[in-house]
Amino acid sequence: MSNHLDDSCFFCKITKGEREIPSFKVLETDLNFAFLDIGPLAEGHTLIIPKYHSARMDELPDEYLAEMLPLAKKIAKALGVVDYNILQNNGKIAHQHVFHVHFHVIPKPNEKEGLIIGWPRVEQPKDVLAKKLEDIVSKL
């Protein structure tokens, strides 16, 4: 495990276990830590965090990320729900509130519980999409 943790970060403290901040640990690996959200959108709402401090996903080493979605899959199966959301936000205007990378596994047991979102879809002309595609591909 990396020692790349921030002593002032709430989530970094959680990865250190009961010594720092107690949590309802779901599972732990050498690289990541999963625990129940204390303000869940639905019963079983779980957070997966790396044991490496990084505010944004694009700054996190790939070895941590490579394990996070398989962990989310295991947790989703263990929750025993058919419908669920996997959510990950980067930056304040993208609704990130704790600036340590984290993935939410949010059960959606019915229409009223779980994640509720709007999706203000905007149609784009094909030439605008083609230009954006060219721009993205040129930077990969």
Q: Any idea which residues carry the catalytic annotation?
A: 102
Residues 6+ apart with CB under 8 A from 36: 23, 24, 26, 44, 45, 46, 47
Distance (Å, rounded) from C-alpha 130 to C-alpha 88?
27
* DSSP for residue 59: G
